[in-house]
């Protein structure tokens, strides 16, 4: 999984980590959807599940979840193509 990148006004570069193939809805799930889906499916080893929980906790504690700012941000009816990006400088 290689990141996709884009440059916004002001020359700020953003990265998105997503699936290389679309899902059954034609969308490209991001890294959190992919990893959390593996967890829900029960196919992660205990070690990998602990890693997922620890890393998710770090992200929740250090990054703003867009849905807490605008609960409709990922509403398919309102924003059918909404996706999240990371500033390249944060990597």
pLDDT digits (tens, 9 = 90+) for 34-52: 999 999 999 999 999 999 9
Q: Which residues contact 87 (CB under 8 A, 6 or more apart)?
A: 12, 13, 14, 15
pLDDT-based confidence at residue 2 (cuts at 50, 70, 90): low
Structure tokens at 19: 């699936």
How many domains are there within the chain? 1
Query: What residue numbers bound the domain in which 78 lies?
Result: 4-90
pLDDT at 3 over 70: no
Q: Whole-model pTM?
A: 0.76
Q: What pLDDT shows up at residue 64?
A: 86
């Amino acid at each position: 999984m290689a990141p996709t990148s884009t440059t916004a006004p002001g020359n700020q570069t953003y990265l998105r980590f997503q699936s290389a193939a679309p899902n059954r809805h034609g969308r490209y799930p991001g890294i959190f959807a992919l990893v959390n889906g593996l967890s829900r499916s029960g196919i992660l080893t205990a070690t990998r599940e602990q890693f997922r929980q620890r890393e998710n906790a770090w992200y929740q504690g250090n990054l703003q979840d867009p849905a807490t700012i605008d609960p409709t941000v990922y509403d398919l009816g309102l924003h059918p193509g909404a996706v999240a990006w990371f500033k390249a400088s944060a990597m």
